[in-house]
Amino acid sequence: MLLWKVFSQVLLPILVLVGFGWMLDRRSRLDLNTLIKLNIYVFVPAFIFREVVTSSLGAGFAVRVMGFTACIQAGMFLMSALVSHFCGYERRQARALQLATMFYNSGNYGVPLMTLAFPLTGPLLQVFVLLTQNICTFTVGVFLASSTTKTHSGWRTFLPMLRQISLWAVASALVVRWWEVPVSEWRWLWVPVEYLHHALVGVALVTLGAQLSQTRVQQNAGRLSWALGLRLLVGPVLACLLCSRFGFRGEEAVVMVVSSAFPTAVNTALLAHEFQADSQFATAVVFYSTLASMFTVTCLIAVLRVPEVLALF
């Protein structure tokens, strides 16, 4: 009964919008590139700016959230490296597994889910998880993906990070808070930001549905199983172990654990494709981890809502 309640209240609304995006793309063939750019350069920055400006989260707490997320990524890197070593994967296969497990969908999957499941603390914490993921994806992720080829470009590899408007949105929001600029009174600016902030959830999920519709999947059972297991199961276990180390308690800890159980980020498939880092495998992990997470995340949220379990955090 608890599983159905969690699924119907949290995951089912997400699944409906993802399904709508999938069907709309099948019928009309949406311009995925435009949708992704709208998310990355318009809706997500507006969401982040508004959340940071209006939040009561201190700088120290934000640093802890970002440090926690970075530790999850580091743990996934080490475990996927060990699996690759013992399974005898070649460099390109190992890099694809690392990309698939380190970087999870904190944006057009994580933000809507946190908004529905934990409306008070979820979106606020998820903003800094998303920020960390974006920074690491376009630095460490680009480095890992490009290391499978001989086309390194030194420091230029990290230039995509500077083009991430989300980073500038955070910087602007921090300046606004530091100097106590009354941006909420500037209706010409604040009202559009509010509109874009509220639009993110729907647009992001429809975009995710279109992305899944245009994903071409080829199975690779062995590595695929390792990737799904590490991303969806080992990730939250590692998060449980780290929560006390970072001082997270109660719902804050639950939010961080659930966040670590999200499916593989679509950006990993894009990086793998751009740098020839086994893109077929990366695409398959994105597809199957998103589908499987509907079950695993539902179960995880249900378990974490049991009072006896929640009392452990």
Question: Would you say residue 201 has pLDDT above 90?
Answer: no
Is pLDDT at 261 greater than 90 in this prediction? yes
User: pLDDT value at position 273?
Assistant: 65
pLDDT average, residue stretch 230-246: 95
Cα first-last separation, the chain: 24
CATH topology of domain 2-310: Na+/H+ antiporter like fold (1.20.1530)
User: At a CB cut-off of 8 Å and minimum separation 6, what does 268 contact?
Assistant: 99, 100, 103, 137, 141, 282, 285, 286
Residue 201 vs residue 304, higher pLDDT: 304
- pLDDT of 269 over the 80 cut: no
Mean pLDDT of the 35-49 span: 86
Question: How many CB atoms within 10 Å of residue 59?
Answer: 10
In this prediction, residue 218 carries a pLDDT of 63
Per the CB < 8 A criterion, the answer to whether 142 and 160 are in contact is yes
pTM of the model: 0.83
The angle formed by the CA atoms of residues 56, 134 and 270, to the nearest 5 degrees, is 150
Is residue 246 very low, low, confident or very high in pLDDT (cuts 50, 70, 90)? very high
Higher per-residue confidence, 62 vs 258: 258
Dump the DSSP string for 257-303.
HHHTTPPBPHHHHHHHHHTTS-HHHHHHHHHHHHHHHHHHHHHHHHH
281-307: average pLDDT:
89
CA angle 70, 261, 268 (to 5 degrees): 65
